[in-house]
Structure 1
């Protein structure tokens, strides 16, 4: 692939963003990166370096990168992980004309090596004000966005659920890796308490069970069996992304139960699909959710509070549908992919 010098048609300045994904496995960081990168490629001649390249953006290999050494015009090197910052710092020291950008979603104090690397960046993006507060350097907040055309309400939610063959008429879901950090156990505890009272609902847990979490998952299954709810609390395991998107469309209610998150993309994915939302105050939940309007916020690590908040929605699916519609509108207004791409592009332009 021959990479030409791109033109930013909005500002007339020459830019070439290199979107890096130097990671061996697919992760939430990869997912958010993949979604926004094609939008950036519509504005700049952006290229993707690394694995899991999405459609809609040019791919860059090591040979392409080598040919850009000693170029006269600047390249944007956009990192989202420590190893990507390290490579960027080294390449810049060796003569690549790089402007280094780092996006941070972490809501915790950074290690010394991360702090050292952050100080060598030319610009810092934080995905929330909370993430920004841990950086100790100036940053610009650009929240994640979601593709509201892909994550969209179904034409007929009842028919979408019926195609599963599961009992009842409605689904309540909790998506993400099955582990304590995601609060899957809180969801199971709340469902064991609530589902006997609401026979029209089935609960669905969609997410990977890694080998080191097999014992955790087995304990959840024991709790489900003890409650006699094996047919009404379903753990699907990891699914292809298209099937995950379809599962969002089958949900009447979504429970975001994380104990700790950087952002929590499933929040806006579920809202975009029109599911009512009950969320712990983790990640970007307090930024995303208009409490009591587009969702309900509950304390972290509190299964009882989660159950209390979910009860009224399980009791009244029409109320849940109305909340879901308001949630989707909030995503369209505040958390679109176009808004995220525009925020990132504005940061890029400050570096030319």
Structure 2
């Protein structure tokens, strides 16, 4: 347990189930600590390695941290904004509340009320900011560009995973479900692979119980097309960075996405990306000069098929886009950069009169 006296920022996590929000906290907090931000988490479902305070410590929030007039409470859900308002406005504790919004839909009246009471609001993309009715700071998510990095030898990276090192590989990673567009990827591969014997496809990710029938249907389609040995369902892996290093092309076929880190992870691994125009994808992938890939309309199978064929058939374009992607990710989307930008929001509130 961390001593609350030296903590300036509290990052609550009030859901036990692993989610994108929880994952964000798990990845960001160690980087924030390394940058000198005095932050601790609060709540269940987080690794013991993270700095952590208990709920009993909340009674000590009337006491200010050394050299500061207040603390920051960084909420990412409604259920984390509400108790912060009680602590600040009812108990009159010296707190400033930051809220990060990742939603790309119209907020309910209740959510708007809560957001309107925040001291600062962060939007995770320009699309997200467009749904807010208050002033916000846009800070896009970043990734660990050391973990997600190109292999020294891509053929060796393929062989290490038991894949055919002589083949080019197109990949689609994430939960297997209709929302994620896994069927669009499968149908694209069924259409393109028969005429391209030098390519295979990999789908990495699991189907939860309610989506198992969907996954089984996709496997049946692949089998009927005679491509079961070339369109591979490899399941969920904790070493997903190693799977990115084996790819020559990544496709993000989502029909809907809140933000979506997979294009960034692919680009950081020097893999060109074809992504649908959902979530923040359009703000991540560069088209035109120094392209890192292509953005296509959501749920547009023919566009996905055409864009994929172009990249499959042009080795030089893939290599150049991959190199540009690595540079783009490192320059603009490191998780350290995200943590630094968030720290600047904190500092404005901590140092304000």
The TM-score normalised by the length of structure 1 is 0.91
Residues 125 and 178 from structure 1, CA distance in 2 versus in 1: closer, same or farther, beyond 3 angstroms?
Answer: same
Contact 2:15 2:45 in 1 (8 A): no
Residues 165 and 239 from structure 1, CA distance in 2 versus in 1: closer, same or farther, beyond 3 angstroms?
Answer: closer
Instruction: Report 1:24-35 matches (<5 A).
Output: 24-35=16-27
2:211 corresponds to:
213
Instruction: Report 1:10-29 matches (<5 A).
Output: 16-29=8-21
2:53 corresponds to:
60
Matched residues in 1 for 2:182 and 2:63: separation? 50
1:314 corresponds to:
312
SS for the counterpart of 1:228 is coil
Instruction: Give the number of equivalent residue pairs.
Output: 341
Q: Deviations over 1:178-215 (max 9, x none)?
A: 11111111111101111112222221111221111112
1:273 corresponds to:
269
Contact 2:161 2:243 in 1 (8 A): no
Matched residues in 1 for 2:313 and 2:47: separation? 41
Residues 317 and 25 from structure 1, CA distance in 2 versus in 1: closer, same or farther, beyond 3 angstroms?
Answer: farther
1:185 matched to 2:178? The reply is: no
Matched residues in 2 for 1:2 and 1:184: separation? 43
Contact 2:12 2:74 in 1 (8 A): yes
- Deviation of 1:111 (Å): 2.0
Matched residues in 2 for 1:263 and 1:247: separation? 21
1:136 matched to 2:164? The reply is: no
1:288 matched to 2:284? The reply is: yes
Contact 1:166 1:202 in 2 (8 A): no
1:228 corresponds to:
226
1:324 corresponds to:
322
2:74 corresponds to:
78
1:98 matched to 2:90? The reply is: no
Matched residues in 2 for 1:247 and 1:54: separation? 24
SS for the counterpart of 1:264 is coil
1:69 corresponds to which of 41, 44, 61: 61
2:110 corresponds to:
113
Matched residues in 2 for 1:165 and 1:349: separation? 48
Q: Deviations over 1:140-181 (max 9, x none)?
A: 001111110111111111111122333452221111111111
SS for the counterpart of 2:229 is coil
- Deviation of 1:55 (Å): 7.9
Moved more, 285-294 or 269-278: 285-294
Matched residues in 2 for 1:64 and 1:300: separation? 47
- Deviation of 1:108 (Å): 1.0
SS for the counterpart of 1:76 is strand
RMSD: 1.8
1:3 corresponds to:
3
Q: Which runs of 4+ in 1 moved over 4 A?
A: 54-57
2:42 corresponds to:
49
Moved more, 41-50 or 141-150: 41-50
- Deviation of 1:4 (Å): 5.0
Contact 1:5 1:45 in 2 (8 A): no
Contact 1:162 1:169 in 2 (8 A): no
- Deviation of 1:298 (Å): 0.8
Matched residues in 2 for 1:320 and 1:51: separation? 43
SS for the counterpart of 1:350 is helix
